[in-house]
Chains A and B, each alone.
Chain A
Amino acid sequence: MTSDTLRDAPVRLSVRGLAKSYDTKRGSVPVIADLTFDVRVGEIACIVGPSGIGKTTLLKCLTGLQSISSGQALIDGRPIDGPPEEMALVFQEYTRSLMPWLTVEKNVRLPLNHLRLPAAEREERIRGALAAVGLAGAESKYPWQLSGGMQQRVAIARAIAYRPEVLVMDEPFASVDAQTRFELEDLCLRIREQFGMTIVVVTHDIDEAVYLSDRVIVLGERPARVTEIIDVDFGGARDQLTTRAVPEFAELRSEVFELIRKAG
């Protein structure tokens, strides 16, 4: 998939003037002031910004876990007012998002139960998802028997097997070691290639954002606004060594870094 075809792809996820404020005893506290951006079909978009800017709040609004105060979030043109069926979310805390009483295989299976799939397809999805994340053979293990990186793979496999059109990830690789992090980033790119999913990732890692994205959405100010949307044109095939070595990578990296520093 080249960047040009991506730019022409239809909009999958559309955020229009989204605002969110929390009601507290001392009145309404605005967290997100006004966000407008689009994510096209098959794109990977990274949302970056200084910590505490409301990135997680934004994800909760996008996945329908929290209500939106004003404005809209649309998936395929349809307003999101509850968890949409074509969306999956990978949480930052893998230890808390997996069921420790279920095996790896059953964790992946649980969301599929209500989809009423033909048995053969269900089994194939589970097998395929576990194979895609490199967990074939670990089906009968329990999450807590696995390392952190492996647990996050289980969470990703669960999302893949669900076959969402949009895969949303909240700082998915924040608490794994650097080597695992690179592997999981490449896994993320592979998933996009293999399943054609649209992926939205919140991250605080600028390198990660540039490496993964077709589009980096930089948030700034408090309450949050979109400071800048940066297009990244590395195309679909990327490599941890060569992509990170090209001069454009360093330029983009500094650009994003500068924006975040100004925003913080």
Chain B
Amino acid sequence: MVFTSSIPARTSVARRAGRSGTPRWVLIGTEVLVPIVLLALWWVASANSTNAFFPPLQVILERLVQLVQTPAFLVDVGSSVGNLLLSFVLASVIGVLLGAALGLVRPLAWFVEPTIHFFRAIPPVALVPIFVSLIGFGNETRIISITLAALFPVLISTMDGIRGTEPTLAMVSRVYRIGWFDRLVSVTLPAASPRILSGMQVSLITAFVVMIASEMLGSSTGLGAATLLAQQSFAIADMWVGILVLGVIGYATTAVFTLFRRRVLRWYLASQQQEKNA
């Protein structure tokens, strides 16, 4: 589906009513400034630290610059980010397809849903040891663990979203005898898309957590493994670098996803805004 449109990014009304009237530049400024202020505080507070576990930020950053130039570190980052993205995409695709099938075919849901809710109830991180023992320590294990953990939020929200489709739209589809494919692509999925994307957002966070956990359990590659190894071998600065980079990756993926969501749901966000102002 193409969402090219004439929707203004923000209507004048929306801008006026936007988030309790705070101007946009203040919001963006806050978003940028707060991390900088926190880093500055960290820098100052840690400057003369002699605590072995709490090295000065300066030391950590110097170590970061060194590590960025080592291939091993880049391999770790690449492995982590690659696993995260691949698993997230896999989970989203499988989740939407399976969720749509379960949302549309009631009898299928009766059989499968109890199982889904059972597995969803297990904390995602707890699934990692099962896969390690079943499949071993390979990268496939990590991808499967992350994908499976990230699958449930998007799967369940797709199912709910599709079931919650406005009944009038279903009647419109029937009266105009719209074919099943058009109905799925142009009616059902877009109608469910606000919920699907909320589910994907949760899936992304879950994927991130499980990515780190999967690397910390018996893996030798990935940032999670590197960070844990650094801690165990008293390379405390390296450990801090790992944590810092993980934070940046987490923040960046969430930010990119937010932009993606805003773009896909432009019609939704704008119509919500319109309703509020009506």
Contacts and interface: CB of A to CB of B under 8 A. Distances in A.
B4 to A, nearest CB: 9
Interface in A117-165: 140-142, 144-145, 158, 162
Contacts of A142: 5-7, 267, 270-271
A13 B186 CA distance: 31
B268 to A, nearest CB: 7
A149 to B, nearest CB: 14
Question: Main SS of chain B's interface residues?
Answer: helix
Q: Across the A-B interface, give the 6 residue pairs with the lowest CB-CB distance, nearest first.
A: A111-B176, A144-B271, A96-B168, A101-B190, A101-B267, A89-B175
Contact of B179 (A88, A101, A114, A145): A114
A97 B172 contact: yes
A174 B193 CA distance: 30
A83 B178 CA distance: 11
Interface string A74-102: 00000000010101110101001101111
Contacts, number: 78
Nearest to B271: A144
Contacts of A198: none
Interface string B266-278: 0110110011000
Contacts of B270: 142, 144
Given A99-B169, A102-B190, 8 more contacts: A65-B175, A85-B177, A88-B175, A99-B191, A101-B268, A113-B178, A142-B270, A162-B176
Interface in A41-93: 63-65, 83, 85, 87-89, 91, 93
Contacts of A87: 175
Interface string B178-193: 1100100011001101
Contacts of A100: 267-268, 271
B263 interface: no
B193 A63 contact: no
B37 interface: no
B175 A102 contact: no
Contacts of B3: 101
Given A93-B168, A99-B169, A99-B186, A113 B179 contact: yes
A250 interface: no
19 contacts: A64-B174, A83-B174, A88-B175, A91-B171, A96-B166, A96-B169, A99-B169, A99-B186, A99-B190, A100-B268, A101-B3, A101-B267, A103-B5, A111-B178, A142-B267, A142-B270, A144-B267, A144-B271, A162-B176
B160 to A, nearest CB: 18
Contacts of A102: 186, 190
Contacts of B182: 110, 113-114
Question: Main SS of chain A's interface residues?
Answer: loop
A263 B96 CA distance: 51
A145 B267 CA distance: 10
Interface residues of A, number: 28
A239 to B, nearest CB: 32
Interface of B: 3, 5-7, 166, 168-169, 171-172, 174-179, 182, 186-187, 190-191, 193, 267-268, 270-271, 274-275
A97 B169 contact: yes
A17 to B, nearest CB: 24
A140 B175 contact: no
B174 A65 contact: yes
Contacts of B5: 103, 140, 142
A59 to B, nearest CB: 10
Nearest to B1: A101
A100 B268 CA distance: 7
B178 A114 contact: yes
Contacts of B274: 144-145
Contact of B172 (A91, A103, A114): A91
B107 to A, nearest CB: 21
A91 B173 CA distance: 12
